[in-house]
Structure 1
């Protein structure tokens, strides 16, 4: 179990190891995605009460309209006034979900619109959550919807990032206020993900009952790489569950084993980079703490050295034998007096 409010680098490393393995022995990306969201929903809990920290976990992927199954294509057309889009138009597609309500545990029932057409850069810019995820991931809308293929090829290996809304209630970036945020008392929203070699963007979206800091959210960049690795363990072309998924996977096994090894090498290099960056970040924090403690110790020593001199001077003044000196409180009561005052 992992506590979101006390999530440590050690927790991140353990969770990352598990997530990377969830793609094994799965016949489709959808099946792998369901394992991922279920694991996150079940294993992020309060260390004090054992209660789930997540209200809802969803995994999305951009996918060409022409490669969607019929029900998803219907969802896209419903939002486009039943017009048929181009087959290569990217769609924001729900692959998996897990949550507090029974209907949230299947992509078929977790949302009214399970696929949204990313028709143009102008229209995507009007979708607050999607456009902000793209921006905070360090991307631009034309790259994600596929109109700048060259730029994507330069970015794919490097883009793994987060989208974090610390205060979900009232946020204009989260439109599901009345249906989700308010009734389920969602405190924070976290999305982490990146780019796949196919040109698709993937994003894991978590609605949390607890508020998390930016530092905690930043650690999920590392988990984004693990999720990417898991999604690529199977055939990336076999996205949705179907009756002939297993057969397709078996036929192409040799080819994809080679491809998988190439992806693994690339991802392991990225993982090493991330680990080194995290180690440097922790070392920098540790050094800052040491520097602060050293400054506090030096300051305390200076004060301790100055105190006797101050006391000596004060004692010399206060104990002048022939003059009476009295220190009074606000209520005129005597707080302290010297020997001269005592004699008087």
Structure 2
């Protein structure tokens, strides 16, 4: 039967039909009634499952009734073994119950030929009946009393009443000790229900099926199995082989039997469907009655709660409005909330707030927000003027409430409309309340309704209360906006304008916290360095206000000075730490400082208690440079270490302060993880990417200031820059060779006009390295977008200096020559020596 399974715990009408069809299909090829019986037992054993799809029936047995003289030798021998000594053998026509098929997990009862002794019992024996009470009851209800034989006319004749009756019996937990045999089997396999069903066979005998189930079977499931009993009967009727027999032939009997069984199956199906329909109709009637009761109860409940709800809504709205207005600092949001609250409290059809403005024609009033209607309903009307109807509100002299404003003597006296403009929302009931703060009329609330007499004194008091709260909140918001604008302007003056750098694309952002009016201590900086390098800085001085901003400004200025001295990142942080300990002891200050040599593709980073810079390589992999983070600035006399990483074309570096990744609802580790995911995404234009990162990481508002600097090294186009590197021994022949390399290279680059100047610089720098270092030297000639850079590296730590020569002295004149030719020149210490460099504008 394959994988067909039927859930006994939820056996439905559709499964009833499918189960019967599958059972008949499984037994279709059986050659005999015994083979069909075994197929039925196998089907029920394998096909009945629990809710989890596991087999639910440890044992299935199929019995038939037979006369004593029709039993086989094994059946008679088994019956004789079970009888008491001296018992007289049954009469030939004694009805016996014989086991013909068995399937299950319980070994003693699994095979009808080698199983337990109870597989053939005389139904006329009271002792035997007591042994199988469930089957005895089933047989009696089907229609053949214990010990009775076939009714006259059964077997070869037409169907009898007994053939049309099929019974299903169920034994549940509370009766199983009385109805089941084999208590050990029941306990071992956890039997919860036993189901017995059966019916008559064509020869007048009866069949009975017993199914032992681990699943409790509800009565409706047992009822649905009536059709399975009929399908079992059909499965046990042998099919008529070959073509249809001629009328009156011997082969007509199986055909009539199958026709009778089919008719019985249809009757059983109809009966099951009728019972299910009646059951559903009863349920529907009960549900309808319950629904009516519920509707009545709901109406009564709504009626009783309506008054309480109205009062509770008023109290809640006032409380919410007060809390919201007290906390809100955004003017647009504040006024909209106030207008919405007052419109609800007054029951107005619509409400509006007009803000005082002064135009070319004098005083008029701008529509600010609308509640209860779409703003477009007012867009085509001009601004209201200080007419007699509006004057009390806009002058702030009092509240105007009218049951019917169209009947007011002040209404309709002003040109050109003489009332409301055409197309205006209909207004009869009218309520206007001024919003006044410290003697200044900020504007007014206006409420309207198309029906007259809608506003009461109570509504007037409620609207006046909201207007008073709105006035205070508006004044607070205006003050906050002014102070915040001043603080933001101060912060922007303290922060530098970042320069453009050849070979790099940069984007920076400074955003103050969503709330707050004081300047902060966050900053970023980008500092061009000698030799084509650039310094990248981000820092954060703890605290807010003028003091924090002043300390930040001092540190930023000092950092620029230290950077221009050519100090390494670690040396810059050591100097800044000493400065912070002197000017701001105890104020936590963090900083990340990096130098980027874009021409060589190298990045050196040192971090003082700050969040690690985030580096995205050319392939999109993102890492945090957090391997060597030192203490904050000014904390002890600790040294700082550096981390050096590649920075190839296509790479990006992001420096940022903690406001970008940390807030109350998200721990900093989660913010860093989200930042890494954003950086690893598809790279776009750097300005747009910075904006998208900010939007994603600051959803819900900024709880702290944010400063960020992102630099990107785009992939260089062909011939945009080039590098020539040569190494020479410390011999005098190195000088002319280096000079010739420089000359050839400048002409190859199409910069022959600069060849002489660059040859003079190379001559002096290489000669000094040969003369003073006396170790192998390295010359690098590098072309940038707007300059040519020549660098010579040797192992000496002595730096060249500008020294004025005495008359007649020829020493030191080479450095003066370089100083005159180069746009910039300088030295920097490196591991194992120094680098002397010079730049010439290209």
* TM tier relative to shorter chain: 0.7 to 0.9
1:108 is paired with a residue whose SS is coil
Q: 1:301 aligns with which of 288, 295, 300?
A: 295
Structure 1 residue 217: Cα displacement = 0.8
Structure 2 residue 15 is the aligned partner of structure 1 residue 8: no
Separation in 2, partners of 1:314, 1:25:
76
Does the aligned pair in 1 maintain the 2:9–2:51 contact within 8 Å? no
Runs of 5+ consecutive residues of structure 1 not aligned to the other structure: 236-248, 316-344
Q: 1:262 aligns with which of 242, 256, 262?
A: 256
**TM-score if structure 1 supplies the norm length?**
0.76
Separation in 2, partners of 1:258, 1:150:
20
2:97 is paired with a residue whose SS is strand
More helix by share: 1
Q: 1:176 aligns with which of 173, 178, 182?
A: 182
CA deviations over 1:160-219 (Å, ceiling 9, x no partner): 1112101177521112212x1112111110011011132212101111111111111111
Give the paired residue count: 296
Separation in 2, partners of 1:98, 1:125:
23
Whose RCO is larger (CA < 8 A, sep 6+)? 1
Evaluate the alpha carbon distance shift between residue 312 and residue 69 of structure 1 in structure 2; reply closer, same or farther with a 3 A threshold.
closer
Evaluate the alpha carbon distance shift between residue 162 and residue 281 of structure 1 in structure 2; reply closer, same or farther with a 3 A threshold.
same
Evaluate the alpha carbon distance shift between residue 282 and residue 84 of structure 1 in structure 2; reply closer, same or farther with a 3 A threshold.
closer
Evaluate the alpha carbon distance shift between residue 138 and residue 103 of structure 1 in structure 2; reply closer, same or farther with a 3 A threshold.
closer
Structure 1 residue 264: Cα displacement = 1.9
Structure 1 residue 141: Cα displacement = 2.7
Q: 2:112 aligns with which of 107, 110, 118?
A: 107
Evaluate the alpha carbon distance shift between residue 278 and residue 133 of structure 1 in structure 2; reply closer, same or farther with a 3 A threshold.
closer
Does the aligned pair in 2 maintain the 1:124–1:131 contact within 8 Å? no
Q: 2:172 aligns with which of 161, 166, 177?
A: 166
- Find the counterpart in structure 2 of residue 289 from structure 1: 283
Q: 1:42 aligns with which of 35, 42, 46?
A: 46
**TM-score if structure 2 supplies the norm length?**
0.33
Q: Which has the larger radius of gyration?
A: 2
Structure 2 residue 94 is the aligned partner of structure 1 residue 89: yes
CA deviations over 1:12-66 (Å, ceiling 9, x no partner): 1111012223443323211111100011101112242x32100100000011121
2:59 is paired with a residue whose SS is strand
Separation in 1, partners of 2:121, 2:100:
12
Separation in 2, partners of 1:230, 1:165:
25
2:58 is paired with a residue whose SS is strand
Does the aligned pair in 2 maintain the 1:23–1:233 contact within 8 Å? no
Separation in 1, partners of 2:66, 2:206:
8
Separation in 1, partners of 2:99, 2:230:
19
Is 37-46 or 300-309 further displaced after alignment? 300-309
Counterparts of residues 165-314 of structure 1 (less than 5 Å): 165-167=171-173, 170-178=176-184, 180-234=185-239, 257-311=251-305
Structure 2 residue 67 is the aligned partner of structure 1 residue 64: yes
Runs of 5+ consecutive residues of structure 2 not aligned to the other structure: 310-842
CA deviations over 1:69-123 (Å, ceiling 9, x no partner): 2111111222333643222211110001000145544211232232112235x45
Does the aligned pair in 1 maintain the 2:234–2:262 contact within 8 Å? no
CA deviations over 1:290-332 (Å, ceiling 9, x no partner): 22232233222212332354347889xxxxxxxxxxxxxxxxx
CA deviations over 1:125-173 (Å, ceiling 9, x no partner): 53423332234x354634xx22573598743222211121011775211
Separation in 2, partners of 1:58, 1:66:
23
Does the aligned pair in 2 maintain the 1:60–1:93 contact within 8 Å? yes
Evaluate the alpha carbon distance shift between residue 147 and residue 96 of structure 1 in structure 2; reply closer, same or farther with a 3 A threshold.
closer
Does the aligned pair in 2 maintain the 1:156–1:196 contact within 8 Å? no
* Deviation beyond 6 Å, 4+ runs, structure 1: 312-315
